[in-house]
Amino acid sequence: MPDIVISEAMDLRAVESLKCDFEVVYDPDLVNRPSEIVALVDNALALIVRNQTQVNSSILEKARKLKALGRLGVGLDNIDLIACKSKGVEVFLATGANTTSVAELVIGAMIALVRKAFLLTEDVKLGKWPRLELGGREVMGLSLGFIGFGAISRAVASRAQCLGMDLYGTDPFVSYSDPIWVEYGVKPLSFVNLLKVSDVITIHVPLEKSTEYLIDQMAIESMKTGAVLINTSRGRIVSEIDMISALHSGKLSGAFLDVFENEPVIKGSRFDGVPNLILSPHIGAMTEQGNARVSKMVAENISNFLKEG
């Protein structure tokens, strides 16, 4: 039986490093076979997952010897922390390892949606010449609003400063007097005021009861007409139905989702035919470098913990 079970994609160098000291089962498709995960963790010391494997009581009750859980990322909505604590399972996150990857994705999505230059490739291939439809705007001089001002927001802010944008942020856990706002050139505002002044809004908060469907019809109505919405955080923070309605009406001029209410997105879903919408399959941390950093951090933490306690 394995010491460590890895149920989702992990950098192979980190996997090999674990195999030097432990019996390892690595199968990135295990996430789609939860009954096999349950069987494999029966005697395992550690389980390593990304964001799709549901680490809940059905797994933890069978994991008699489990001591450690590695999360290849930082989100916790697929992990039952209370059950882990009651079982004495230590949870290791890859805090900070994917910051650059997500920040660059946000900047790229923002420029693509504001400039509009990349939205009608198929028309150009067909011999159309949609120059007027792709006029777009410059990001310089626009206002960028951060919902949540943790490490990723700060990384985005440092890059957006170079683009000449006006920066605003809201975060109930960062006081208005905190010098971090000045350090990154961001003006703190209330949530309501941030919605009113921002041309682009990017979301960087965890999924909790207080943030579920934080961006709904009422929030969108408070935004500027023509605002752009970016969500690389968690899917249920944005009401997809309300966002789609706003894209059809023109209240939002564009949106980018890397995360969804239900993952993976089903073919023929609500997103068909929605204008000015860019979707990616939860890849915020999935750059070559980001995956290597995340995997190495988790592998080292799990290895050290199992060896030393």
| Catalytic residue status for 263 | yes
Q: Write down the catalytic residue from 263, 270, 293, 308.
A: 263
251 phi and psi angles, rounded to 5 deg: -60, -45
Which residue's entry shows tokens 């290849």? 72
Of the candidates 54, 91, 51, 52, the one whose C-alpha atom is nearest the C-alpha of residue 70 is 91
What gap in Å lies between CA 109 and CA 257, rounded to an integer?
A: 9
Residue 128 Ramachandran class (φ > 0 left, ψ -120 to 50 alpha, else beta)? beta
Residue 227 corresponds to which amino acid? Answer: A
Q: Write down the catalytic residue from 282, 288, 300, 308.
A: 282
By DSSP bridging, strand 24-26 and strand 46-49 are: unpaired
Q: Write down the catalytic residue from 204, 234, 240, 293.
A: 234
Long-range contacts of residues 82-91, Cβ cutoff 8 Å, at least 24 apart: 83/56, 83/57, 84/55, 84/60, 87/60, 87/63, 89/60, 89/63, 90/305
What gap in Å lies between CA 16 and CA 203, rounded to an integer?
A: 35
Residue count (the chain): 309
Annotated catalytic sites, by residue? 234, 263, 282
